[in-house]
Chain A
Amino acid sequence: MASDKVNKSTSEPLMVQITITFLGVAFLFLIIGMPLVAVFVEAFSKGFKAYIEGINEEYAISAIKLTLLVAAISVPLNLVFGIAASWAIAKFDFVGKRLLITFIDLPFSVSPVISGLIYVLLFGVHSALGEWLIDNDIQIIFAVPGIVLATVFVTFPFIARELIPLMEEQGVEEEEAAILLGASGWQTFWQVTLPNIKWGLLYGVLLCNARAMGEFGAVSVVSGHIKGETNTIPLHVEILYNEYNFVAAFAVASILSLLALITLMLKRAIEKHTSAERG
């Protein structure tokens, strides 16, 4: 905020300051704040009891369980993949490095619906693999494996994208120093590399998790919408909404909104920590 000591020539007139701040806040409220508030208003419109009933219901609970399961599988997978890929990209030179970076970005540039469709085409009944899968009694599409695959695909850039610039900035000198001091590859990773990236990694995991739980498009294509079996929270919200069960729809949606708020708070805490560490 402008204090009395601010040089007049380098600060905007008061009116301009107020107008710009107002525009910014108003826009944020309109686009992000109001919908968020609306979710909770709608969820509690028939009272607290109706809210609890909306959530504490067989299909809602199974959707929550499935979402947690999918996140619990896909986040660790992407964690390992993200660290491995960014380690390779940031610390080594190899043929095809550019290509790998492009592939990591692919899920960001492709519509989630297409991402889901890819798996349907790959593992669906009419695909080459499909018959073999049926013969061996393995179900991927319209089942949990498909949902996990689609979620992994959509969320896999988050951790790698967070780590690559960080690791590139840090360079390889500390690792080289560790190796020359006699450390093994694993010792170097656990004792030197990982502590240096831990906050960036946590940040990436957080974003990855939020997206894994909230993904709709890709999951919608591969899920098959089987109530109590292949519905995740976002899919369940859609079904409830289409059934005009607004209170329950918004009650379940409020869980995702809460998750978003917690994510933001944690993210803020991490940012505070990293900036304090750097300062």
Chain B
Amino acid sequence: MGIHVQNISKKFKNFVALDEVNLEVKTGELIALLGPSGSGKTTLLRVIAGLEFSDSGKVLLDGEDASKSKQNNNVGFVFQHYALFKHMTVFENVAFGLRVRPKETRPDEYTIKSKVMELLRLVHLDTFFDRYPHQLSGGQRQRVALARALAVEPKLLLLDEPFGALDAKVRKELRRWLRRLHDDIRITTIFVTHDQEEAMEVADRVVVMNRGKIEQTGTPEQVYHNPANSFVYDFLGNYNELDGWKDKDGTIHLAETVEVRAASSTADIVKEKAGSWLNRYPEITGLLKKVMPRLHADIAVPSTAVSGTKKPFAKMKGKGKPVKIYARPHEMYVEKNPDDHEYIQAKVIHINPAGSLVKMELERSNGNILQVEILKSVFERLSINKGESLYVRPKQTKVFE
């Protein structure tokens, strides 16, 4: 089922839940509505489902105004807290949507039974058909809720934070399962989540929402690598924010860098100075690749114009348009003996070596904290200890003006 959301606005007293939202979903798509709490994503889902009335605008389901069609039998809805009928068995829960149909369209008992059991097999709960919801685990309940929603053969499946109340492991399993299910039955699906990882992993397209508005719509790759604004960038992962400035040529520079004398390897002859970020030099990244072959993932070509220079004593003195430079923790490059790039200096205050990446927190002289993730091999090569001072620069950055 194709969905057109047109200029939907919705207020709760003084709180603007949805502000002129427009969205188009193609038949068979799997869409994630992603945003922090209060961003309007659940309200939008409920408006599409017909559970909430918008103050203005309309929702077209296959070109038909949803608020005008009397009964929404085509929509399957899965609630965050499952909303299973407590007093009914798993079987009766799934059968409910079929049993409440008017006599003319209600399937006979045999059809109901075989259909319900088929759905329960699909969610791997066929042996649990006579249990009550309170006898099931959270993940099982959620699967019953899904089976119940699918029983009415909806053309549109809506899921409100479907895995939000589950523990991390079950959540991951169910995510994969939902993806596979969607690949099998190709039903138009919209799910709400505040977990960016979940959205990225499951959805064909991600709709990032904030304060009742859609900030960006795109494939997981698009929103992650080309975020439309600082909010999207912020919401899709941890990041560091650095002061910078832009010179006449449009090149981005770091502010408060330390100047490094290329000739000298001793770190004590550095002083605070506004330095320069010049256009990237492919040969430098190429060189680094050669020096540290295992690091190649870390030195992927930067997506914007930020990298090193061979001119350590750049003339720019920070006279330009101030900008904010953003970089993910894994996009930070650290060095003990700096080369001729622009670096900022920071002290290691915390090291978390669990996992394939070593996570570090660095504190700058101005008190700002930087989050850095580096490969274990790099960490070991540099033999970093807590309390040490490191030279840091972003390998990849985003600038929002």
Partner-B contacts on A (CB < 8 A): 173-174, 176-178, 180-184, 187, 191-192, 195-196
Contact = CB atoms under 8 A, between A and B. Distances in A.
A75 B73 CA distance: 38
B162 to A, nearest CB: 13
Contact of A182 (B49, B83, B101): B101
B43 to A, nearest CB: 14
Contact of A176 (B51, B151, B152): B51
A180 to B, nearest CB: 5
B233 interface: no
B152 A181 contact: yes
Contacts of B71: 182
Contacts of A173: 79, 81, 83
B152 A182 contact: yes
Given A173-B79, A177-B77, A182 B85 contact: no
Contacts of B248: none
B141 interface: no
B155 to A, nearest CB: 13
A184 B100 contact: yes
Nearest to B92: A191
A191 B100 CA distance: 9
B86 A183 contact: no
Contacts of A191: 85, 96, 100
Contacts of A177: 77, 79, 83-85, 148
Interface in B73-99: 73, 75-77, 79, 81, 83-87, 96-97
16 contacts: A174-B85, A174-B86, A176-B77, A177-B77, A177-B84, A180-B50, A180-B75, A180-B76, A181-B148, A181-B149, A181-B151, A182-B101, A192-B85, A195-B85, A196-B86, A196-B87
A176 B148 CA distance: 13
B96 A183 contact: yes
A125 to B, nearest CB: 50
Contacts of B148: 177, 181
Given A181-B148, A181-B152, A182-B152, A176 B83 contact: yes
Contacts of A174: 83-86
Given A173-B83, A174-B85, A187 B100 contact: yes
B72 interface: yes
Contact of B100 (A176, A182, A195, A196): A182
Given A176-B51, A180-B75, A180-B77, 16 more contacts: A173-B81, A176-B79, A176-B83, A177-B77, A178-B85, A178-B96, A178-B100, A180-B50, A180-B51, A181-B97, A181-B149, A182-B73, A184-B100, A191-B85, A195-B85, A196-B87
A173 B161 CA distance: 14
Contacts of B50: 180
A180 B151 CA distance: 12
B96 to A, nearest CB: 6
Interface in B39-89: 49-51, 71-73, 75-77, 79, 81, 83-87
A181 B250 CA distance: 57
Contacts of B149: 181
A187 B102 CA distance: 11
Interface in B255-292: none
B125 to A, nearest CB: 18
A154 B337 CA distance: 87
Contacts of B81: 173
A196 B96 CA distance: 16
B97 A182 contact: yes
Q: Which of A176, A181, A183 is the most central at the interface, judged by chain B CB atoms within 10 Å of its CB? A: A181
A195 B87 contact: yes
A177 B149 CA distance: 9
A182 B50 CA distance: 12
A163 B76 CA distance: 30
A178 B77 CA distance: 10
Contacts of B79: 173, 176-177
Nearest to A93: B12
A121 B71 CA distance: 50
Nearest to A183: B100
